[in-house]
Structure 1
């Protein structure tokens, strides 16, 4: 296998995760990071979060490194004590390596630390690196000391590179409002990098479709008050492109809704598989279940749908 073939093989592999979250557990696990993780899951993204505060070993480290390689995007939540953790810094080096070699996207979040401090390793980060370097000086073995010096050098370079990337500073991006920042991350950054998640195939050559559906989209989004239910009917003979238009409309607006479902060919599907099948599909989509929700009868399905809608 040539180098080009190896690169192509790596870039074409199936993704396992949409997002990898790097953070210091003691700082943000029960707050910002957990809320960000929940928001990503609510939008249907596959996010990796290290939920275990177990004793860390090489086996766990390799698992985390694989998760970084298999994620399209890495989000780094820089907190004041992030650099205290050699584990977090090793993750960061791997993340930046995957950005350079595999073209992964990286989004730094400066939670309660200024980007300039991360970039220059000053302030609270200087204190952390002082401890790391004290550990190097205490090393008796020359080879071990050289290895640790190289490791610290990699940490510093990775921090500088990450801090130079476009990201979000909690105080500047959302004036300290965590919920607003999380919404911005999920609805803007992630959507930009993963635009086709849950999207439907429209047509082989969808020329001019955007112009033709614009009025319908405006009506759906702005056609009533926020509490109104807006319905649009698309009428026409078979083969005119009604389903194509519906697919395109869904692709344009689905990201604006936390819960959504696209039910195609309802009449034919219900005739072939039964109405319960359609009900199960609707509820599974809304609850974002990985397996189909079980409904015993049409009447039971009506009750379940009323409950969730």
Structure 2
């Protein structure tokens, strides 16, 4: 769950669960009122614990520390790559932390390509390439690690929502939740 580069659309709750099942990284303006809302609704009856933002809390770059703690407390990270995901400083910081936790402690990473071509993410082209060029101006020291994280994450087998159940959102939400439940049960 991440915000735009203006940091105005993603607030964070101040309290965290100890052992979260799933941390969802997403670009709020692209996904909050559709796939992400449906996922959180589907997680609830299954008692899948997730990290949720509090919309009343102001967002700034200091929130990264809270997000990193939530990622480290999670067993699975669900990456919702959407059209404007790479525009967000917070999304990219989350992603870098998620991939580091994958390498260091075996965090399970599950990408979802939400109306984006996985090749654009992996090859850093299209909107992803444009976003990274813009980040070069303000965050040059971080861009290389973000690029690596994007390439590595997009190389993991995931879901292309346009190719699951002919894009039927309720069906692919069900498939994602069932896969998460199966992975959690194995843990």
TM-score (norm 2): 0.85
Provide the residue aligned with 1:194 in structure 2: 184
For 1:238-267, what per-residue CA distance to the aligned partner results, in whole angstroms no more than 9, with x for missing partners?
xxxxxxxxxxxxxxxxxxxxxxxxxxxxxx
| Cα distance in 2, alignment partners of residues 87 and 196 from structure 1 | 30
SS at match of 1:31: helix
Give the CA deviation at 1:161.
Answer: 0.4
Provide the residue aligned with 1:56 in structure 2: 60
Give the CA deviation at 1:63.
Answer: 1.1
| Cα distance in 2, alignment partners of residues 194 and 55 from structure 1 | 31
Give the CA deviation at 1:15.
Answer: 5.2
1:153 lines up with 2:144 in the alignment = yes
Give the number of the structure whose alpha-carbon radius of gyration is greater.
1
Give the CA deviation at 1:180.
Answer: 0.7
More strand by share: 2
What RMSD over aligned residues (CA atoms) do the two structures have, in Å? 1.7
| Cα distance in 1, alignment partners of residues 71 and 160 from structure 2 | 23
In the TM superposition, structure 1's runs of 4+ consecutive aligned residues that sit over 4 Å from their partners are none
Provide the residue aligned with 2:106 in structure 1: 103
For 1:222-243, what per-residue CA distance to the aligned partner results, in whole angstroms no more than 9, with x for missing partners?
xxxxxxxxxxxxxxxxxxxxxx
Give runs of aligned pairs for residues 17-166 of structure 1, distance below 5 A.
17-52=20-55, 54-58=58-62, 60-133=63-136, 135-136=137-138, 148-166=139-157
Structure 2 runs not aligned, ≥5 long: 1-16
SS at match of 1:48: coil
Provide the residue aligned with 2:13 in structure 1: none
| Cα distance in 2, alignment partners of residues 166 and 49 from structure 1 | 25
Alignment equivalent of 1:177, drawn from 147, 164, 168: 168
Are the aligned partners of 2:42 and 2:173 in contact in 1 as well (CA < 8 Å)?
yes
Are the aligned partners of 2:71 and 2:98 in contact in 1 as well (CA < 8 Å)?
yes
For 1:265-301, what per-residue CA distance to the aligned partner results, in whole angstroms no more than 9, with x for missing partners?
xxxxxxxxxxxxxxxxxxxxxxxxxxxxxxxxxxxxx
Give the CA deviation at 1:49.
Answer: 2.5
| Cα distance in 2, alignment partners of residues 34 and 51 from structure 1 | 14
| Cα distance in 2, alignment partners of residues 165 and 150 from structure 1 | 25
Structure 1 runs not aligned, ≥5 long: 1-13, 137-147, 198-309
Bigger relative contact order (CA 8 A; separation at least 6): 2
Give the CA deviation at 1:184.
Answer: 0.1
| Cα distance in 1, alignment partners of residues 147 and 52 from structure 2 | 24
